[in-house]
Amino acid sequence: MNVQFFIDASFILATLLFIYGLKRMSSPVTARSGIVVAGWGMVIAVVASFLYVFNVAPEVKPHLTVNIALAVIALALGLGWAWRSGKKVEMTAMPQMVALYNGMGGGAAAAIAAIELFGHKAHGPIVLIMAVLGGVIGAVSLSGSLIAWGKLDGRINGTWRFTGLQAFNGLILLTLLAIGAWTVWTGGAVSPLLISVFFILALFYGVMMAMPIGGADMPVVISLFNAFTGLAVGFEGYVIGNAALMVAGMVVGSAGTLLTLLMAKAMNRSVSNVLFSNFGASGDEAQGEISGSMKPIEAGDAGINMRYASKVIIAPGYGLAVAQAQHKLYEFVKILQAADVDVKFAIHPVAGRMPGHMNVLLAEAGVPYDIIYDMEDINGEFKEADVAIVIGANDTVNPAARTNKSSPIYGMPILNVDQAKQVYVVKRGQGKGYSGVENELFFADNTNMVYGDAQKVLVAMVQAVKALDGGGH
Amino acid sequence: MDATTAITGFVALYIFMLAAFTGYEIIGRVPAILHTPLMSGSNFIHGIVVVGALYMLINASSVIEQALGFFGVILGAANAAGGYVVTERMLEMFKPSDKKKG
């Protein structure tokens, strides 16, 4: 039938646009057009899938009107809700939103698998294996992502784990495998009750997998679930004979896996380490004594010193975003640039709540991306910098990661801010960082502490420099 | 499964294999500053699952299939739409220095 030709042609066009769009997204210059291109691919694919109505089996015909009505309503509901929530969400809350949308994709893949299994539509061992695998992975991604969202959104607090948790989880996984194997063995002829148990267990496993993982490790887990959903979509694509789903799903599956590994590497941890062990649990509190004291400095004085520096490097952390001070920071940067100061931003791979998150937060404030540098590209420049200023960051600039073997962050690559001639640290109080580790940078001879809320400190710096320049003319 | 373009075992493996390398190659070259939008962008791409859910719903012949299909289409549509909106919002903000203003 010719309708099938149009469906197939539309899907291959959509797939082409997805891959081309993703490719354009790999450079900041073309990235915006990349997502638009991929978006058109999605529109084409969704419109084309309504052509399926001309190809339904005879026994489906009596239900067709209802099915189409349901499809339109479901599309409108999902699209409407996500469009509104996506437009509203704050940039700081982006990681949990990505987790939420990702979980929903996993849920959709699991729903496809459930229909195949409940309706006994899948035939043959390979199709059944794919349906079962996609179902488990999709369901795990759904419940796990929901937990990740809840944690990052502050709705679920704390991590809980108990002795034997891993054995318990292993048992659930084995049971899932057993039911899955039985389903394949019997050719899909299993009772609806067993299929229900199967999906409930898979959802439960996702919860058990995400619950023990702490806040700092969450981005790695979100990325992993993103890869999971991709795989689930790819497998279900095979089950329903749709190559567009297979390609798109598998591209995301492998890309997501690579991204997960890159993130874990940036934190100097392995993925299994993130999943199965508690951060900070390894190192006892055997931290070396830190000599020296923290030396405070007034924000205005620090600002004026930077005005007369020739090179300033800024190391921002999530604390900057919490204080909503990105805009004020960029205002200060522009004043420095007007005074011919060379200003650069140094971004640690895990600054913010997710790799690259800090770049998004700075971009939101209007900071151009060509003065923002990755850690590897700028670490060599700190020794030439007159001033390095740390705002709302702590663990990512802690020299203990280089020297102190007993520190839980030992081995994590850090920004070499301590090599600058002068270091300013903008900080609320004298507390420790996210990992609970003392930071010897704060006690160093060339470090001065600027205490206060980042927003207020930057306002003071801007005023001090403006007053100075105003008096000069 | 009544699609005219049947995908049998080994052809499927070829597709999966090539797609996996494609994903790996595309992401491998992405600068770290784009990691967040990229995770979100790939999240959008697997929103294509909505097409699979639509296929299942249109071909549903029982109440449970309709219910699951309805649920699947809502979730899939939300994945696609949400993924698109947040990715586009993030990427729109990335701008180079304005050289004229200097």
Residue A396 belongs to domain with CATH number: 3.40.50.1220
Question: Do the Cβ atoms of B43 and A347 come within 8 Å?
Answer: no
Mutate to test the interface with A, among B22, B26, B36 (most CBs of A within 10 A): B36
Question: Among residues 260-279 of chain A, which lie with CB inside 8 Å of chain B?
Answer: 262-263
- Do A453 and A325 lie in one domain? The reply is yes
Q: Are residues A385 and A416 in the same domain?
A: yes
Q: Report phi then psi at A448, rounded to 5.
A: -125, 140
Q: Nearest CA of chain B to the CA of A284: how many Å?
A: 33
Note whether A63 contacts B73, CB cutoff 8 Å.
no
> B32: distance to nearest CA of chain A, Å?
6
Whether residues A260 and A323 share a domain: the answer is no
Which among A234, A137, A120 is positioned nearest to A186, based on CA atoms? Answer: A120
Q: Does A100 touch chain B (CB under 8 A)?
A: yes
Give domain status of residue A62, yes or no. yes
Query: In this complex, do B26 and A26 lie within 8 Å of one another by their Cβ atoms?
Result: yes
Q: Which residue of B has its CA nearest to A352?
A: B36
Co-location of A265 and A316 in the same domain: no
Mutation choice for B interface testing from A360, A373, A376 by most B CBs within 10 A: A360
If asked whether residues A223 and A104 sit together in one domain, one would say yes
Nearest to A252 among B46, B50, B68 (CB): B46
Which domain range does residue A464 map to?
299-468
- DSSP for B22-57, written as a single string: HHHHHHHT--GGGHHHHHHHHHHHGGGHHHHHHHHH
Partners of residue A75 in chain B, C-beta under 8 Å: 50, 54, 73, 77
- Please give the pLDDT value at position A429: 72
How many Cβ atoms from other residues are within 10 Å of residue A431's Cβ?
8
> Residues A69-76: contacts with CB within 8 Å, 24+ apart?
A70/B57, A70/B66, A70/B69, A70/B70, A70/B73, A71/B54, A71/B57, A71/B58, A71/B69, A71/B70, A71/B73, A73/B70, A74/B57, A74/B69, A74/B70, A74/B71, A74/B73, A74/B74, A74/B77, A75/A46, A75/B50, A75/B54, A75/B73, A75/B77
DSSP for residue A294: -
CB contact under 8 Å between B58 and A18, yes or no, is no
| Same domain, yes or no: A304 and A397 | yes
A307 and A267 belong to one structural domain: no
The residues of chain B scoring below 70 in pLDDT are 1-6, 98-102
Q: Report the chain A residue with the minimal C-alpha distance to residue B35.
A: A356
Nearest to A237 among B52, B97, B98 (CB): B52
Does the distance separating the beta carbons of A363 and B57 come in below 8 Å? no
Tell me: the pLDDT tens digits for A61-112?
Answer: 899 999 999 999 999 999 999 999 999 999 888 889 999 999 999 999 999 9
Residue tagged 């400190």 (tokens): A457
The DSSP bridge pattern shows strands A387-391 and A422-427 to be parallel
Q: Are residues A204 and A332 in the same domain?
A: no
pLDDT of residue B102: 38
Spans of all domains in chain B: 1-30, 33-102
Same domain assignment for residues A236 and A321: no
Helix extents (H) in A242-356: 243-266, 271-276, 299-307, 318-322, 326-338
Question: Based on the domain organization, do A151 and A109 belong to the same domain?
Answer: yes
Q: Is B14 on the interface with A (CB under 8 A)?
A: no
Question: Is A325 part of any domain?
Answer: yes
Q: Which residue of B has its CA nearest to A7?
A: B3
First to last CA, chain B: 60
- A440 domain residue, yes or no: yes
Residue A251 lies in a domain: yes
**Claim to verify: residue A209 and residue A321 sit in the same structural domain:** no
Task: Kindly give the parts of chain A with pLDDT less than 50.
Answer: 279-287, 473
Window 347-386 of A: residues touching B by CB (8 A cutoff) are 347, 349, 352, 354-357, 359-360, 363-364, 366, 368-372, 374
Q: Does A134 touch chain B (CB under 8 A)?
A: no
pLDDT for B28 equals 77
A288 within domain boundaries: no
Say whether residue A26 is in contact with chain B using an 8 A CB cutoff: yes
Nearest CA in chain A to B45: A248
Residues of B in contact with A71 (CB under 8 A): 54, 57-58, 69-70, 73
In a domain, A461, yes or no: yes
Give the nearest chain A residue to B89 (CA atoms): A87
Secondary structure class of A424 (helix, strand, coil): strand
Counting the structural domains of chain A, the total is: 2
Question: Are residues B95 and A252, on separate chains, in Cβ contact within 8 Å?
Answer: no
User: At a CB cut-off of 8 Å and minimum separation 6, what does B10 contact?
Assistant: none
CA torsion sign for A77, A78, A79, A80 is positive
Mind telling me how many Å the CA of B14 is from chain A's nearest CA?
10
Is B25 an 8 Å CB contact of chain A? Answer: no
Q: CB contact, 8 Å: B5 with chain A?
A: yes
Q: Is A395 a catalytic residue?
A: yes
Q: Report the alpha-carbon distance of residue A406 to residue B27 in Å, rounded.
A: 35
Would an 8 Å CB–CB cutoff place A123 in contact with chain B? yes
**Are the beta carbons of B44 and A256 closer than 8 angstroms?**
no
The reply to whether A315 and A247 lie within a common domain is no
pLDDT at A79: 96
Q: Is residue A291 one of the residues assigned to a domain?
A: no
B97 touches chain A (CB under 8 A): yes
| Catalytic-labelled residue, pool A395, A445, A453, A469 | A395
Are residues B1 and A60, on separate chains, in Cβ contact within 8 Å? no
Select the residue of A75, A86, A241 nearest B6 (Cβ to Cβ).
Answer: A241
Whether A282 maps to a domain, the answer reads no
Cβ–Cβ below 8 Å for B51 and A11:
yes
